[in-house]
Chains A and B, each alone.
Chain A
Amino acid sequence: MIDLQHIFKWVPVGGARNFLLRDLSLQIGEGEFVSIMGPSGSGKTTLLNVIGMLDHFDEGEYKFLHEEVHKMKEKQRTQLYKQYIGFVFQAYHLIDELTVYENIETPLLYQDVKGSERKALVADMLDRFNIVGKKDLFPNQLSGGQQQLVGIARALIAKPKLILADEPTGNLNSKQGEEIMNIFSELNQQGVTIIQVTHSEKNAGYGSRIIELLDGRIVN
């Protein structure tokens, strides 16, 4: 599904280059559950953003479902990740002015899904995560765990093949964290590929593979 070859990413500092990713090659197959670990500044989030096409890289090749991402224009890239990728963030990143229902609905709007179909999809999702009663609340009226559930529901609404999660339990207590990880496991069993960035060995244990990063390189 994902094939990264000799990826370099740097930021210029003075005259020199500060490497964020250095000669990184990685393959991830469909249906895998991968955990990316490493100390702060090792390039975990950067790697996740590159995979998610939110960030550019400076050198190397990236194939997603056999399509060459590095040769695509911005518009094609957007089209691609809109269709296949869902994001889950540590800080949830819900839109404060929208209700739970509307937050979950938003990705469908960008994919021009018809109104009746949208309604059905969002209702399914609310049902699945048991948050029907909260659909008219605004994010600031929810607990952290509930907000992250909404975040996941939103990531799943467009039926992505890949979920990218950046420390999804980082802001949650252990019980809430466990619930979220169980959801990820279930999703993975249903065939969704999951890549998560995490600091927690325990959460990494939910995955089928662990990739450790140090200074922008894979060390195992």
Chain B
Amino acid sequence: MFSNIFKLIFRNLYRYKYYSIVNILGLSIGVAALVWAWQTYRFSFSYDRFHQDRDQIFRILSKIEGRDVKLGVCPLPLGPMAKADLSAVSDYVRLENINLSLKAGQEEALNSRVTYTDPSFFDFFNFPLVTGVHEIGDRSNILLTETSAKKIFGTKDPLGQTVLLHAGESYQQPMKVAGVLKDPPVNSSIQFELITNMENYVKNDSALLKADDWTWLADAIFLKIPDPANAVRVEKELTKYAPIQAKARQDLKAEHFILDPLDEVANHDRDIASNVLSQRPEDSAAYGPLVLALLILISSCLNFANTTVARSNQRLKEMGVRKVLGGNKMQLIRQSLLECGLMVFLAVLLSTLLNSWWLPVFNNMFTGIKISADYFSDPVLLRTMFWLWLGVTLIAGLYPAFYISRYNATQIFRGSVKFGGTNLFSRVLLGLQLLVACITVIAGFAFSRNSDFQKNFDFGFAVDDVFSVQLNKNTFDAYHQALSQAKSVEALAGTRGHISSSYKFIGLEAKGEKKETRLLEVGDRYEEVMELQLLSGRWFKPFSTADLDHTIVLSEKAASEFGWTAETALGQQVKWDTVHAQVIGVTKDLYMTAFFDPIEPVAFAKVQPSAYRTLVVKSRLGQVNAAFDEARAIWSGLYPMKPFNAFYQNEIAAEAHRVNASIATIFFWFAIISALLTATGLFALISLTILKKLREIAIRRVVGASPGHIVFIVNKSYILIFVLSLVLGVFAGIALTRLLMDLIFVVNVGVHGPTLVYSIAGILLLVAVTLGIKIWHTLSLKPSEVLRANQ
């Protein structure tokens, strides 16, 4: 039975090649999209799930007095103390990351991130070893990831080799490579390149860390609590250490500590400050693709159902014969579903090919996302594929199956059953497709407009022609001096704090209120080089100590937190930590994190030249690349052993541009796909309508109907559904696009009038061209011939 049906199916597929190709391709795109979205979703919620003891591991977060957000950092001695004092805690591990210059043999010095941790690290976490040992109890050992081994040693065997940490400094440390680890997976909140013992950590003043230093905040501390039910008690017990910390750090007084389960560690998008651990992609990245893929999949299912029903008259005779030969209704429905199931199966196979191309492309578009589809080693994915196959088969195949099998043989042979596909249900399906096309087209246009909007956006500070160089107290003066002679450099400013790279959070107090504010301690002429725009008052007096320690400049947002305008803020007294200061100026707001976060309150204070650690460089107009190269050359001349740490200011917007451009690209393709699906569905239905009315049209033309009237006759049953789905589609498109855009970018352009006009025009053009081709073809037939053939 099945072999007979399979034969028939394949012969039918071959006979109606174009129909089969369009349908299988459409479905495969839908399936591929959903698999992509599903894997993205699973990836987003898979962070840190690969650690065996993960339910026993908790990270300590610090709640600081007067600060709303929790901090990821934690006093260094808290780990050992908790283990020593609290019976429920079996072990601890501390993490500290630092970027430093590193040198191996005769190779050039590199800038690398080194992670300092305790030997218990590998008891806590499962990061597999490739070669050597994962032993960092011996302080002279260092472990590398595969990538960093390749970066440092190329193809050479790294085991037993020596690397020099802090190369070029007086306190440089030789280390022996004891092992190579696999790269931490992207869905690990703990990322590292090189790992060594915590005790090797060297502070800025070149001294080693002291284990009982309560002023030092480690990047992260984890506790192991073998019975997780004790976590609540441990959290309470940790509170007794808060006063010790508060005494040691007046500027960051701990109130209490919070235990965060390892499963939650990657879920803190932006509600934790000073968080060095990687976070999972935002919700929009997890849910956005799902919505999009479902739309496309539904559209391709609708297309399948519509074209199958539309084509069913070609199959009616076969169905009739089968009924006469003893096939009952269920058998015919089964055959029809089987046929659909087979096409969906082919589509599923094709989707794996599509995804083998698309997933790497997608991974390259966004950092921090790495999606793969290992169909055979991932049982969840395999199950998903099975359910997807079944679901799509039923959704796409049930209606045509019942439609085709419901007529009885005598009706069919008598010829009273003709051309299905133009009934209300088919028209509604087409309407839904049009709606989906509207949504994706609007989203596509809106995101590309948003891209333009972001390119020309005023951040409140200079982003073009500016870059900054990270220095230290030993290199600052000499490098500053050397760079001031550079030809392509227009201006320089030394500073400690710098927009979007170096600032600290303070609790700014005035009128008895305390508001969390970012404080940038800046140097002379910083405002000039960064082109900050003053709304009122004045900036700090350059090259004078007059404004040190008792003046402050607020951003408009910081002033408004206390209910002040740019004018009324002037002269007000504010306080933070032990400093009392007077507001001397108000600047325009700054978008420090590009478009991702709302505007935050910012304050500027003046800092002495001896504290400068960053040199901000403004190039001559349009010469930023030349200036950057010149700055690098000067650096290499001065410090051949040390890596050059410099960043273009426009990098802060670059990530936003990339994200936006990627989303626009995705929507662009989805818009094209859904438009093509709609066009195919529309073409099929209109072809049938015309076939049904061919005789009527010919007679009308003989008696003198105009082409316009013929167009009306053909389309009249669709007009209402077109208008309705267009209107609904526009509203749904606006709503969904806004939702998605707001989820990703706090600052965005939304859906503008022109976007809607272009989208609607695009859809109408698509409909007009599809209809036009078919109607033009009909009008080119000679009425006399049509009538002779349809007597």
Q: What's the interface size class on B, roughly?
A: 20 to 34
> Contact at B326–A54, with CB atoms within 8 Å?
no
Which positions 87-104 of chain A face chain B at CB distance < 8 Å?
Answer: 87, 89, 91, 93-98, 102
Q: Is B328 an interface residue (CB 8 A)?
A: yes
Which positions 16-56 of chain A face chain B at CB distance < 8 Å?
Answer: 49, 52, 54-55
By secondary structure, the B interface counts as: helix
Question: How far is A107 from B1 in the complex, measured between Cα atoms in Å?
Answer: 10
Which B residues are CB-close (under 8 A) to A82?
326
> Contact at A106–B4, with CB atoms within 8 Å?
yes
Q: Is B7 an interface residue (CB 8 A)?
A: yes
> Contact at B320–A49, with CB atoms within 8 Å?
no
**A78 contacts which of B4, B8, B326, B410 (Cβ < 8 Å)?**
B326
> Contact at A154–B325, with CB atoms within 8 Å?
yes
- Given known contacts A89-B413, A102-B4, A95 and B322 CB-to-CB distance under 8 angstroms: yes
- Given known contacts A75-B328, A107-B326, A109-B1, A98 and B7 CB-to-CB distance under 8 angstroms: yes
Distance in Å from the Cβ of B260 to the closest Cβ of chain A?
63
Distance in Å from the Cβ of A23 to the closest Cβ of chain B?
21
- Given known contacts A54-B409, A110-B331, A95 and B326 CB-to-CB distance under 8 angstroms: no
> Contact at A97–B15, with CB atoms within 8 Å?
yes
Which B residues are CB-close (under 8 A) to A111?
326
Among B322, B408, B410, which residue has the most Cβ atoms of chain A within 10 A? B410
> Contact at A97–B12, with CB atoms within 8 Å?
yes
> Contact at A49–B410, with CB atoms within 8 Å?
yes
Question: How far is A82 from B326 in the complex, measured between Cα atoms in Å?
Answer: 5
- Given known contacts A49-B410, A82-B326, A110-B331, A94 and B1 CB-to-CB distance under 8 angstroms: no
Contact with A along B326-344 (1 / 0, CB 8 A): 1111010000000000000
Contact with A along B1-26 (1 / 0, CB 8 A): 10010011001100100000000000
Distance in Å from the Cβ of B321 to the closest Cβ of chain A?
5
> Contact at A106–B410, with CB atoms within 8 Å?
no
Contact with A along B401-431 (1 / 0, CB 8 A): 0000000111001000000000000000000
Which A residues are CB-close (under 8 A) to B320?
93
> Contact at B410–A54, with CB atoms within 8 Å?
yes
Q: Is B691 an interface residue (CB 8 A)?
A: no
Which A residues are CB-close (under 8 A) to B1?
109, 112
> Contact at A109–B4, with CB atoms within 8 Å?
yes
Which A residues are CB-close (under 8 A) to B15?
97
In chain A, what residue has the closest Cβ to B328? A78
**A95 contacts which of B318, B329, B331, B410 (Cβ < 8 Å)?**
B318
Distance in Å from the Cβ of B338 to the closest Cβ of chain A?
13
Distance in Å from the Cβ of B787 to the closest Cβ of chain A?
23
Distance in Å from the Cβ of B461 to the closest Cβ of chain A?
71
Which B residues are CB-close (under 8 A) to A91?
413
**B8 contacts which of A94, A95, A107 (Cβ < 8 Å)?**
A95
Q: Is A81 an interface residue (CB 8 A)?
A: yes
In chain A, what residue has the closest Cβ to B330? A75
Which A residues are CB-close (under 8 A) to B322?
95, 106, 110
> Contact at A54–B7, with CB atoms within 8 Å?
no
Q: Is B317 an interface residue (CB 8 A)?
A: yes
In chain A, what residue has the closest Cβ to B409? A54
Question: How far is A112 from B328 in the complex, measured between Cα atoms in Å?
Answer: 13
- Given known contacts A97-B8, A97-B11, A109-B4, A54 and B324 CB-to-CB distance under 8 angstroms: yes
Which B residues are CB-close (under 8 A) to A105?
4
Could you name 17 residue pairs across A and B whose Cβ atoms are closer than 8 Å? A49-B410, A54-B323, A54-B324, A82-B326, A87-B324, A93-B317, A93-B320, A93-B324, A94-B321, A95-B322, A97-B12, A98-B11, A102-B4, A102-B7, A109-B1, A110-B326, A110-B327
